[in-house]
Amino acid sequence: MNFNGFLETLPLMGKGMLGIFIVTGVIILCVYALNAIFSPKNKKNGKDGEDK
């Protein structure tokens, strides 16, 4: 049993989970932005507006 080694890896666990949440958070924000910019509803509204 390498208890000291185990303790040394705990910061890696923290960094890994933090890293994955940060990357995921950024991706989520990007997807929301994409959905807002390229929303099919926006396009339809735009076309409706043009028709009027």
Q: Which residues bind another protein (CB under 8 A)?
A: 1-3, 5-6, 8-10, 12-13, 15-17, 19-28, 30-32, 34-35, 37-41, 43
CB neighbour list of residue 42: distance below 8 Å, 6 or more residues apart: 36
Nearer to another protein, 11 or 49 (CB): 11
- Distance CA(44)–CA(31), nearest Å, equals 20
Nearer to another protein, 12 or 49 (CB): 12
Residue 38: how many CB atoms within 10 A of its CB?
9
Q: Smallest distance from the beta carbon of 45 to another protein, in angstroms?
A: 13
